[in-house]
Amino acid sequence: MNVRWRLTLRLIGWLAALGLVLLLLAAGAFGWISQRLLQIEAGRNFASAGLQRLLQTMVVKDGKLHFDPGLLEQVRQSGGWLQLLDGEGRVTEAFFTPPDVPDRYGPGELTAYWLGKEPFPYSLYLWIQEKDGVTYTLLYGMSDPDERLLESMAAQGVLQGDKVVLPERLKAGLERNGSWLQVLDADGTERAAFNKPEGALSRYSPQELALRSIYPDRYGTKLVVHFDADSGRTWALSAPLPGNEPGRHPVFPPEIRALAVGIGALALSVLLVLLVVSYWFGHRIGSPLLHMMKWLRALDESRYAEPAGPDGRPRSRNRRGKRKANYRMYDEVLHSFESLSETLRRNERLRAETERMRDEWIAGVSHDLKTPLSSIRGYAHMLETDAYDWSPQEVRSFARIVLDKAQHMDGLINDLALTYRLRSGGQAPELETVDLNEFMAEAVREASSHPRFEQSRIRFSPADRPAPLVVYKPWLQRITDNLVANALLHNGEGTTLTVSVRSDEQGAVTVAFEDDGEGMDEATKARLFDRYYRGTDSESRGEGTGLGMAISKALTEALGGTIEVESDPGRGTAIRVLFPSARSRGL
C-alpha cells in the first residue's frame, strides 16, 4: 500500500473516530437537555410529567419496586404524596402519605374522589400505565399550603383604601418569606396590596394570571389566586422562588437556561476535542513532514545524515532502531530520503576522489607531455644552432627521436579525445563482420609485439566453432591492446596471459583475458574502469595515461557489449568481454 492510500485510509479512520466522538458528545448534551426539560416540566406540574417519568424510571429488583429518588424528592418538595395501587385498589407502596389518606379504595370511591364528585381534602391525579406486562396505577395527591394560606387571608383580610389589613400572624409570615398579597378588581386592576415590592405588576390580564400560575419558574415567582365570587375580586398571593428577588423576573426562562447550558457545554467540549485532535493530527501528520523538510534543508547544506533528536538518534527511529508509529505512514518517502542521502554521500565521496585522481592525472599527463616536448625542443635547438655542423645521418637520428616523441604526444591527445567522444555517446564510424577466432589471433599477436612483453607469455585459445561478430575493427584492436597491456605491464615477470574466444549457439561470443598474476583488491577492482584511475602499480609504465581501461569499457559498450572483471589478491585476474548476438544488439 503506497503513501497516498495509507494516508487516505488513516485520515478516514481518524475522521470517523472524531465524528463518532462528536456524535456521542452531541447525544449526551441533547440527552441532558431533554432530561432537564422534563425535570422543569415535572417541577411545574408533577401530575402531568412526573407521574409518567416515575413509571418510566421504575425498576423491579429482588421483587421490590424502586423509584427514582430525585422524582420522589420532587413529590416531597411539592407538598404532595404518592400511592401505588394494585388491581384490587389496595395500596402496595406509599410515599409521604398523610394519616387521613385511605390505604384502600373501592372502584366507585376512587373514581368519585378523582372526578371531584365526593369531597376529598387533596387534589388527586391518576396515572395508569402498563409496563413489562403489568398494569401499574399511581395516585398522586397534593394540598398546596399556599392555597390554604390565601383562603385564610381572603377570609380574614380587610380592605382599607389601597391597603390590606391582615392579622399579625399572617403579616409576619408574608414579610418573613418576602411574599406579597394583591387584591384585584373584576378587570384585573390592583385595588389593594400588602408588602408589594417594586417592579411587581399592578394590573393582570386573564392570560397573565394563567401563565404566571402555571409557569412560576419563568417569572421567578409562584402565584396562587383565589376568586371571591360574591365580590368579584381576585386575591393573588405571590412568593419569590429560591434564588430570585421579589418582583424581579429571571433574565432567561429555565428552558432557555437549560438549552444554553447544554449547547454551551457541547460547544466547549467540541472545541476542546478539536483542539486536542488538531494537536494530535499535527503531531501524527505534521511532525514527519517538518522532519522531512528539515532533512531537505540539511541535504541542501551538504549534510547527508538524517536529522537527529536530543538523544542523538534519528528522529524517525525509536530506541530499538525501528520506525516510530507516526513516521510509518511515510515509510516509503523516508526510505527514499535515506537512499537519496546515501547516494549523495557516495557521490560526494566519488566526486572528491575523482577530483583528486583528475588532479593527479592532469599532473601525470602534463609530465608525460612535457617530457617528449622537452626532447623535441632540445633537438630542435640542436639542429638550429650554427655551432655544430650535423651530418645527414645525425639529422635523421634526431628526426626519428622527434617523430617518436610526437607520436607519443599524439597518442595521449587521441586518448583524451576518444574518452570524451565516447562519453558524449559517440558511435563507431563503420561496422563489418569478422571471424573473431582469426581477428583475435592477429590482434593478440600484434598487441604482444611490444618489446616490454618479451619475457611474458601469451596464449590464445580460439573457439571450437566459428565466432562471427559485427564490430568496428580499430576499436576491437584498441580493446585488445589495452587489456593485454593491463595484464602484462602491471604484473611481475613470468606472468602468463590466456586469451580465449567462446561462442554459443545463439551467436553470443565472449573474449576472456585471464592471467595468473598478482590479482587486485576490492577497491582496485571497483575503480578499475574509472577515468583517471591508475592501479597500485601505476609507476611500472611511465607513459601510461590512466585512460586505457576506461576507454576499453566505453568502446565495449559502444559496440553493444559488456565487460566484467573477477579478481582476488594472489589469484590472478579474469576480464571478460561479452557480446550478445547481432540480433539482440539490433545489428
The predicted pLDDT at position 513 comes to: 94
Pair 129, 148: CB distance under 8 Å: no
Say how many CA atoms lie within 13 Å of 400 toward its Cβ. Answer: 6
Q: Which residues of the chain have pLDDT under 70?
A: 1-3, 39-49, 144, 242-253, 360-361, 364-365, 367-368, 416, 419-420, 422-426, 451-456, 531-546, 582-587
Distance CA 569, CA 482 (A): 21
Distance CA 416, CA 409 (A): 11
The predicted pLDDT at position 48 comes to: 60
Which grid cell sits at 231?
Answer: 365580590
Residue tagged 577530483 (cell numbers):
355
The predicted pLDDT at position 583 comes to: 62
The predicted pLDDT at position 541 comes to: 46
Residue of 547, 407, 439 lying closest to 447 (CA atoms):
439
pLDDT by residue (tens digit) across 289-336?
A: 888 898 899 888 888 888 888 877 887 888 888 888 777 777 888 888
Which grid cell sits at 153?
Answer: 387571608
Residue of 397, 371, 369 lying closest to 382 (CA atoms):
397
The predicted pLDDT at position 272 comes to: 93
The predicted pLDDT at position 539 comes to: 46
Distance CA 146, CA 490 (A): 124
- The kind and range of the H/E element at 412 are helix 392-423
Neighbours of 217 (CB within 10 A): 17
- Its CATH class, for the domain covering 427-579, is alpha beta
Residue tagged 441533547 (cell numbers):
30
Question: Domain residue spans in the chain?
Answer: 46-143, 146-251, 353-419, 427-579
Indicate the fold that domain 353-419 takes in CATH: Helix Hairpins (1.10.287)
Q: What is the pTM of this model?
A: 0.43
